[in-house]
């Protein structure tokens, strides 16, 4: 794939509001997606240590259930890898209703991400923390209950450059406060009520000449680098676990293993989550890693063991 070539006015025009719900403009948005993919790969190559264990992905350019049928922006982002997401999956899923899954199935809403977003106004780059990414922002809150940790968070914020802001809502705006002026306690307020994002980063107006060339790559890399201490403070990991989730994960895995050994091919089971929630089917096959093939009439579905129960 060619290197990042910079953004043009047409790239921002692809996200005019009149185009959000129309598939007629998918090709325009695809052009932006290719540029963002190239940008993300370049950032990954330039920050191999900082992004170790992170996986790159990009949002949908087509109107779909993953963007509430409104392709109003595109974001290339880095979030915790597949194995880490899998360990947390059952815990995160149990905190959400079936309606939540149907209305907002986007996986990156449940994990803090480092990203670059393009919309009609321009570009935003930085840390994106959705209100549903509670595993991360609640981790920071729990950490700050420890002696000196809130002050430590305040020090990390105060070290950020003056063009890094904190926005709540759809993204960053000119009125949003400078991150370096916030205390740790002030920063930790409002994650759950943000509608829906907390963004720590920098906004670039579409007319900014930096966006038109390679200079933006260097700027994005530099921004990601200065945000890594904040990312490390907030993000849940096994080494930065202030939820005590390690024990919850271990208990859940043991429960799945016990359940796995008690189900056999031909058994009737009830599906507990997803679009088929409440339906009763028959075990068609049992695969490794706790996945069961369940037959409902002519349909065969793959279901996690923890999402099954006896009818």
Indicate the domain borders of the chain. 9-243, 263-309
Instruction: Strand 113-119: give its sheet, edge to edge.
Output: 54-58, 74-80, 113-119, 122-130, 197-205, 165-169
Tell me the average pLDDT across 164-180. Answer: 92
Rg, C-alpha atoms of the chain: 21
Name the residue with higher pLDDT: 147 or 248: 147
Name the residue with higher pLDDT: 191 or 2: 191
What is the value of pTM for the model shown? 0.79
Mapped onto helix, strand or coil, the DSSP state of residue 23 is: helix
Q: pLDDT at position 12, please? A: 98
Say whether pLDDT at 41 is over 60: yes
Q: pLDDT at position 252, please? A: 46
Q: pLDDT at position 285, please? A: 85
Tell me the average pLDDT across 252-271. Answer: 66
Q: pLDDT at position 273, please? A: 75
231: confidence class by pLDDT, cuts 50, 70, 90:
very high
Rounded to whole angstroms, how far apart are CA atoms 191 and 194?
A: 5
Under 8 Å between Cβ of 245 and 91? yes
Name the residue with higher pLDDT: 289 or 112: 112
Q: pLDDT at position 103, please? A: 61
175: confidence class by pLDDT, cuts 50, 70, 90:
confident
The pLDDT tens digits of the residues spanning 112-167 come to 999 999 999 999 999 999 999 999 999 999 999 889 999 999 999 999 999 999 99
Q: pLDDT at position 2, please? A: 58
Q: pLDDT at position 309, please? A: 78
Q: Which of 51-60, 101-110, 141-150 shows the lowest per-residue confidence on average (mean pLDDT)?
A: 101-110
Q: Which of 9-23, 81-95, 152-166, 295-309 shows the lowest per-residue confidence on average (mean pLDDT)?
A: 81-95
Q: pLDDT at position 305, please? A: 76
Say whether pLDDT at 268 is over 90: no
Report the 10 Å Cβ neighbour count for 195: 8
Say whether pLDDT at 249 is over 50: no
Inter-CA distances, 21 with 44, 58, 72, 133, 197, Å: 31, 18, 8, 26, 21
239: confidence class by pLDDT, cuts 50, 70, 90:
confident
Dihedrals φ, ψ of 288, to 5°? -70, 165
Q: 2.40.280.10, 3.40.228.10, 2.30.30.30, 3.40.50.720: which CATH number matches 263-309?
A: 2.30.30.30
Q: Which residues of 247-257 are buried (b: 16+ CB within 10 A; e: fewer)?
A: eeeeebeeebe
Say whether pLDDT at 5 is over 60: yes
- CATH T-level fold of 9-243: BirA Bifunctional Protein; domain 2 (3.30.930)
Q: pLDDT at position 287, please? A: 79
Dihedrals φ, ψ of 27, to 5°? -65, -40
Tell me the average pLDDT across 90-105. Answer: 61
Q: pLDDT at position 124, please? A: 97
95: confidence class by pLDDT, cuts 50, 70, 90:
low
Say whether pLDDT at 100 is over 80: no
Tell me the average pLDDT across 175-191. Answer: 93
Angle, to 10 degrees, between the axis of helix 82-94 and the axis of helix 134-143? 90
1: confidence class by pLDDT, cuts 50, 70, 90:
very low
């Amino acid at each position: 794939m060619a290197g990042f070539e910079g953004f043009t006015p047409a790239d921002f025009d692809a996200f005019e509001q009149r185009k959000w719900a129309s598939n007629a403009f998918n090709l325009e948005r695809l052009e932006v997606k290719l540029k963002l993919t190239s940008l993300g790969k370049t950032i990954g190559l330039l920050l191999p240590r900082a992004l170790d264990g992170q996986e790159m992905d990009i949002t949908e350019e087509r109107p779909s259930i993953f963007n509430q049928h409104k392709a109003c922006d595109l974001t290339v982002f880095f979030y915790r890898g597949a194995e880490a997401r899998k360990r947390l999956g059952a815990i995160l899923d149990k905190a959400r209703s079936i309606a939540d899954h149907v209305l907002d199935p986007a996986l990156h809403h449940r994990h803090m991400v480092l990203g670059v977003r393009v919309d009609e106004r321009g570009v935003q780059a930085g840390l994106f923390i959705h209100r549903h990414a509670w595993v991360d922002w609640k981790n920071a809150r729990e950490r700050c209950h420890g002696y000196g940790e809130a002050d430590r968070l305040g020090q990390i914020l105060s070290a950020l450059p003056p063009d890094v802001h904190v926005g709540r809502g759809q993204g960053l705006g000119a009125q949003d406060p400078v991150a370096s002026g916030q205390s740790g306690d002030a920063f930790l307020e409002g994650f759950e009520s943000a509608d829906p994002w907390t963004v720590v980063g920098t906004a670039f107006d579409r007319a900014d000449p930096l966006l038109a060339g390679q200079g933006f790559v260097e700027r994005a890399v530099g921004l990601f680098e200065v945000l890594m201490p904040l990312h490390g403070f907030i993000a849940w990991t096994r080494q930065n676990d202030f939820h005590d989730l390690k024990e919850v994960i271990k208990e859940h895995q043991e429960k799945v293993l016990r359940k796995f050994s008690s189900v056999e091919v031909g058994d009737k089971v009830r599906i507990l989550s997803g679009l088929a929630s409440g339906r009763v089917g028959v075990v068609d096959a049992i695969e490794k890693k706790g996945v069961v093939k369940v037959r409902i009439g002519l349909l065969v579905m793959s279901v996690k063991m923890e999402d099954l129960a006896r009818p």
